[in-house]
Structure 1
Amino acid sequence: MCGIAGLFDTHSKRDFAPKLMERINNVQAHRGPDELGLHLEPGLAFGHRRLSVIDLSTGQQPLFNEDHSVAIVFNGEIYNYQALTTELKALGHVFRTRSDTEVIIHAWEAWGEACVQRLRGMFAFALWDRNQQTLFLARDRLGVKPMFYALLSDGSFIFGSELKVITAHPDFVRNIDPLAVEEYFALGYVADPRCIYTGAHKLAPAHTLTLRHGQGLPEPKPYWDVSFSLDNRISGEDAVHELRARLDESIRLRLMAEVPLGAFLSGGVDSSAVVATMASVSSTPVRTCAIGFDDPKFNESAFAQQVAERYHTDHHLEIVKSDDFDLIDTLARLYDEPFADSSAIPTYRVCQLARKHVTVALSGDGGDESFGGYRRYRLHAAEERARNLVPLGLRQPLFGTLGHLFPKLDWAPRMFRAKTTFQALALDSTQAYLHSVSVLRSDERESLYSSGFKRILAGYRAQEVFKHHAAKANTTDPLALVQYLDYKTWLVGDINTKVDRASMAHSLEVREPLMDHELIEWLATLPSELKIKGQEGKWLLKKAFEPSLPNDVLYRPKMGFSVPLAKWLRGPLRERLQQAVLGPQLEATGYFNQETLQTMVRQHLSGQRDHSAPLWTLLMFDAFLRQAAERPEAL
């Protein structure tokens, strides 16, 4: 696992300053503390920060082919590299290392841009072919590994593993994109491929980008998508056996390492299934890491302990205090963009713990999205059945009016909180799902924004992100549609972003066996009834692991990796909340209705309403603005 960076002259072949390349590369030194690599030639500069995991002695980067006409900087792991090595050697390619990086070079020589179709793993790389005068960038299918890029005013193309690589360049202009602000306050993150700054972009998952001197910046090209065919007629029993076999293979592939390797163990179904499988295929005890909270409402460590004892793992547990909120500014610096998922705090802590014992950790990320684990999936399916009973022309005025008139009862039992449901029933399926996952829903954002900012948005709403992806989903199945939307938005923008930044802050590599693209392709062929049965989510995964995991790990209510936000904001963060949300920095942006901000703070602090999620989102936006104000020094 590493950090990559580079510069490319799209106009001609000028020389880049070595000091500039070294500086933009070193701002991500935390991603690769083991080695530094640079390569400069006319019109091109590559930088690499290495975290050594495979081929410790000869895997340095940038890496070249035999005649040095092809160079690569690569971040990630190619899990099928040994099979590809055998295939490429049969085609006459000569290998000088044992690294998975060299496989990509020879795959490019053999198959060109189609090489990405052959790679199984998590990756972001840039490859320079001098003979073809081509710079080729690629990102893995599910966006596990990041890639940022920008075209500067002088024609320089800059890329890197983190946005801070781009902003470290003195010629990059940090103009905030108002459309990104709208996406952030709807989703809690800025959705790919947009960035918080107008001049920067994320290379979207499963996309490539090919550049040549004198040809400007082309559009990225997709090379893969998941298809929810739902046409596999396999029985439930056979699906259970095949799932176990596929998980065994996915996890075996991810156990290769020349450094200490372990797993996160939260006590939930996904991480427990990963640990149980690791134990079944490993000849030595699995190292497991877990954190707990001193507040029992948020503490799952007892369930993690059950799994650890069952499989005799080398288990490490740390208890985090329930007032562990001192990471706000640290997180703002790590993420470079506003990022509102408060579970970034425990994620940071578990990565910090894991790095004390291992260099590589397997996680259970992706399980909820692939197996149908989120409660919102079941609620969406129920709402969809209701929507199908009443034509949209009748639903919109009927439920829209009820949603407007019904009070917002945060304090009431869930069965009496009908406002959100009424609002959702007035919408189409895609809009309704966005409504259910939004930090601030459309009407709440309408109240939050100033009239001036709404004019700047010119009618743009975050629902455009969901509409764009829904048009490509090619399914009318309610569960399949929202799974597809989550693959394209939530999984990439929130989960993978959170884990990548938190883990690489500690020079820890995290591997996600439940995001193996071949496993996901197979799961997408299964009917939705094998994922959700009645009110039971993850039915197939739970059935598959009934012989291997305790019943209360499999079938207890989902707890999640959360923190006591409402309590923090009324207690120890009260002063910071008031200073940030009602302070001069947010006001100076001109984005917000000051009366709305004052009302939200007053209602939350008095206990009248729970505004913890939107207030935390505002707090993190303020923290982002603080770090964004730091400018790079001129060379």
Structure 2
Amino acid sequence: MCGLVGCMDTRGRRDPDEVLLRQMNAAQFHRGPDQGGEHFEPGLALGHRRLSIIDLASGQQPLANEDGSVVVVYNGEIYNFPALMDELVARGHQFRTRCDTEVIVHAWEEWGEACVERFRGMFAFALWDRNAETLFLARDRLGIKPLHYAELSDGRLLFGSELKALLACADLPRVLDPEAVEDYFAFGYVPDPRTIFTGASKLPPGHTLTVRRGAPVPAPVPYWDVVFGNDGPADLEVATGEFVERFSEAVRIRMVAEVPLGAFLSGGVDSSAVVAMMSGLSEDPVNTCSIGFGDPRYNESAYAEAVAARYHTRHFSEQVDPDRFDLLDQLALMHDEPFADSSALPTYEVSRIARSRVTVALSGDGGDEMLGGYRRYRGYVREENLRRMLPDGVRRGMFGPLARVYPKADWAPRPLRAKATLEALAADAVDGYMRSVGIIDDASRRRLFSPEFRGRLGAYRASEVLRRHAAKASPDDPLAFVQYLDLKTWLAGGILTKVDRASMANALEVRVPLLDHKLVEWMARLPAHHKIRGQQGKYLFKHAMEPHLPSDILYRPKQGFNMPIGEWFRGPLRERLPAAVCSERMLDTGFFNPAELKRLVAEHQSGRRNHTRPLWSLLMFESFLRQRAEGADTRPDEGRPLARGVGA
């Protein structure tokens, strides 16, 4: 795995700032500690950090074609590169290496912008074609690998794998985007294409950006989308057999490496299934890595050890202290913008442990999103079916008033916590799902934000992120509808961002077979009853794995990487919490209502209410401000419209 950076003069051929390029490249040293490379020519600079995985001897980057007119810097793995190489050789292209990077160069020469449609894998790359005076940026279909860019006022276009590379440039404005702040406190991350800064963007998954010298920087263009439907195999056994075959192939092509390779093994269904497939494909024992916690509420290590024993893996497990709150500030440094998924902490720890044994690890990410594993999916389907039974006016008139008078009862047993359900039933499909995925609801955010900041937001609400994607989702199948929304938001912006930053901070490459795009396209067409049946999510997946895994792995309640955050706030972080959340740094932004900040802290620390999620998101925001946004401009930019679409 690697890191790429670059700078293009979109207006002319000014000599590039070599010092800046090297600073940008150095900011991502962790992504590629093995080698570094640079390329300079009038109007263009490219940089690269390499973590050597394939063709260790001759895969250095930047890499060019025979006459040096096409140059690429690349982060990722293209698993079908041998077949593409054979096809390109048959068409007359000559190769100097046996690495996938050179395939990109010749694929561009042969197919132009359509080359990305032929790549199977995870990738982000920047390709310069001197003869066409064209820069081509591309990101893989699911967003496994990141790519950021920013256009400066003087016509320079900066780009890099991580936002920190762009922040190495002093000319990049540090103006915080109010809509990104709203999005962050709703979702816990900043969804594509925004970043927390107005002047920088993320290239969305499945998009390319073609920049021609002398022309305005255009909006990114999509080259792929997933289509959900119910026209896959209807028979369970037929679908099961086909799934195992496709899943096994997705695992197999990700086991090619010239460095030590292994797998994360949490003891959950997805990672255990990946290890089972790997063991069946390998003559040697698979290297597996896991972490355990002393507190049994957060410890799945016994299940991981059971899978490791069944498949005779070389299992490496380390017990870590769940109270790793000393890593809090590390999260802001890794993500470069606020990020509120607390499971980033154990993800960082398991990546650190894995890197001591292997350079490449396979993970089980994507199973819940593609195969219906989240409990919220089952709840949403029930709610949406009820919504569809009643006319909108009747539904809003019935459930809206009930929701307003029903007390909020987070402390009560789940069956008595009906306020959220009533509010969801009164909402439309998008707002109903927003209530399931949001970390702070609309009403709570309005109380959290200052009147002045609410005025700057105007009518904008974070639910517009979902609404934009909902316009392209299947409206007929409630499950397919929310799976599509998650693939476009939570998967790329939350899950995959977390895994990329935590693993690359440890110079570890992570591959995700359940997000092989061909497998994803097939799983998307499965009938809903193969994904959810009764109260059982991932029904087909678990049925398919019954010959490979014990039932207590397959059918136990989902646990996940939970952390005792709420307890930290009443214990070891008791003093740090109010000092951070109610600090002058937070108040100086003008974003927050000081009385609400104090109320959240006081009620949580007294035990009267549980405000873990909003307090964690506030703590992460303060850490971001302190480490990545010192000197940031939080004032409104009167000349800049708040609304920004893809590529803005």
| Cα offsets for 1:273-310 (capped at 9, x unmatched) | 00000000011000000011111111111111110000
Question: 1: CA distance between counterparts of 2:396 and 2:619?
Answer: 34
Report which stretch shifted further, 552-561 or 317-326: 317-326
Q: Could you say which residue in structure 1 is the equivalent of 2:642?
A: none
Q: Could you say which residue in structure 2 is the equivalent of 1:326?
A: 326
Q: How does 1:294-443 map to 2 (within 5 A)?
A: 294-443=294-443
Q: Could you say which residue in structure 2 is the equivalent of 1:138?
A: 138
User: How far is the alpha carbon of 1:135 from its aligned partner?
Assistant: 0.5
Question: 1: CA distance between counterparts of 2:100 and 2:4?
Answer: 16
Conserved 8 A contact 2:229-2:480:
no
Question: 2: CA distance between counterparts of 1:295 and 1:425?
Answer: 38
Q: How does 1:2-401 map to 2 (within 5 A)?
A: 2-401=2-401
Question: 1: CA distance between counterparts of 2:630 and 2:447?
Answer: 31
Question: 2: CA distance between counterparts of 1:325 and 1:227?
Answer: 41
Question: 2: CA distance between counterparts of 1:15 and 1:223?
Answer: 33
Report the AA paired with residue 178 of structure 2: P
User: How far is the alpha carbon of 1:574 from its aligned partner?
Assistant: 1.1
| Cα offsets for 1:548-580 (capped at 9, x unmatched) | 101000000000111011101111011111101
Other structure's SS at 1:135 match: strand
Report the AA paired with residue 46 of structure 2: F
| Cα offsets for 1:90-147 (capped at 9, x unmatched) | 1111110010000111111110000000000000000011111111000000000000
Conserved 8 A contact 1:88-1:107:
yes
Report which stretch shifted further, 534-543 or 399-408: 399-408
Q: Could you say which residue in structure 1 is the equivalent of 2:466?
A: 466
Q: Could you say which residue in structure 1 is the equivalent of 2:643?
A: none
Q: Could you say which residue in structure 2 is the equivalent of 1:609?
A: 609
Conserved 8 A contact 1:71-1:105:
yes
Question: 1: CA distance between counterparts of 2:205 and 2:513?
Answer: 17
Question: 1: CA distance between counterparts of 2:351 and 2:182?
Answer: 30
Other structure's SS at 1:489 match: helix
Other structure's SS at 1:387 match: helix
Conserved 8 A contact 1:332-1:624:
yes
Q: Which 5+ residue runs of structure 2 have no aligned equivalent?
A: 633-648
Other structure's SS at 2:68 match: coil
Conserved 8 A contact 2:371-2:537:
yes
Report the AA paired with residue 616 of structure 1: W
| Cα offsets for 1:353-397 (capped at 9, x unmatched) | 000000000000000000100000001111112212222112223
User: How far is the alpha carbon of 1:599 from its aligned partner?
Assistant: 1.2
User: How far is the alpha carbon of 1:233 from its aligned partner?
Assistant: 3.9
Question: 1: CA distance between counterparts of 2:451 and 2:400?
Answer: 23
Report the AA paired with residue 583 of structure 1: S
User: How far is the alpha carbon of 1:72 from its aligned partner?
Assistant: 0.1
Question: 1: CA distance between counterparts of 2:383 and 2:341?
Answer: 26
Conserved 8 A contact 1:384-1:478:
yes
Conserved 8 A contact 2:127-2:137:
yes
For this pair of structures, how many residues does the alignment match?
632
Question: 2: CA distance between counterparts of 1:395 and 1:603?
Answer: 34
Conserved 8 A contact 2:174-2:631:
no
Question: 2: CA distance between counterparts of 1:313 and 1:194?
Answer: 42
Other structure's SS at 1:627 match: helix
Report the AA paired with residue 310 of structure 1: R
Q: How does 1:572-591 map to 2 (within 5 A)?
A: 572-591=572-591
Question: 1: CA distance between counterparts of 2:604 and 2:146?
Answer: 36
Report the AA paired with residue 623 of structure 1: S
Moved over 6 A (4+): none
CA RMSD of aligned residues (A): 1.0
Conserved 8 A contact 1:228-1:475:
no
Question: 1: CA distance between counterparts of 2:375 and 2:265?
Answer: 21
Question: 2: CA distance between counterparts of 1:7 and 1:258?
Answer: 32
Question: 1: CA distance between counterparts of 2:360 and 2:238?
Answer: 32
Question: 2: CA distance between counterparts of 1:401 and 1:317?
Answer: 52
Q: Which 5+ residue runs of structure 1 have no aligned equivalent?
A: none
Q: Could you say which residue in structure 1 is the equivalent of 2:639?
A: none
Question: 2: CA distance between counterparts of 1:235 and 1:53?
Answer: 40
Other structure's SS at 1:254 match: helix
Question: 2: CA distance between counterparts of 1:339 and 1:167?
Answer: 17
User: How far is the alpha carbon of 1:196 from its aligned partner?
Assistant: 0.3
Other structure's SS at 1:58 match: coil
| Cα offsets for 1:471-518 (capped at 9, x unmatched) | 011342010000000000000000010000000000000000000000
Question: 2: CA distance between counterparts of 1:438 and 1:238?
Answer: 37
Q: Could you say which residue in structure 2 is the equivalent of 1:628?
A: 628
Report the AA paired with residue 545 of structure 1: M
Provide the TM-score with structure 1 as the length reference. Answer: 0.99
Question: 2: CA distance between counterparts of 1:171 and 1:397?
Answer: 53
Q: Could you say which residue in structure 1 is the equivalent of 2:517?
A: 517
Conserved 8 A contact 2:234-2:527:
no
Conserved 8 A contact 1:366-1:514:
yes
Question: 1: CA distance between counterparts of 2:396 and 2:594?
Answer: 31
Report the AA paired with residue 312 of structure 1: H
Report the AA paired with residue 105 of structure 1: V
User: How far is the alpha carbon of 1:86 from its aligned partner?
Assistant: 0.8
Q: Percent same amino acid among aligned pairs?
A: 60
Question: 2: CA distance between counterparts of 1:209 and 1:248?
Answer: 33
Conserved 8 A contact 2:174-2:629:
no
Question: 2: CA distance between counterparts of 1:568 and 1:205?
Answer: 36
Conserved 8 A contact 1:359-1:508:
yes
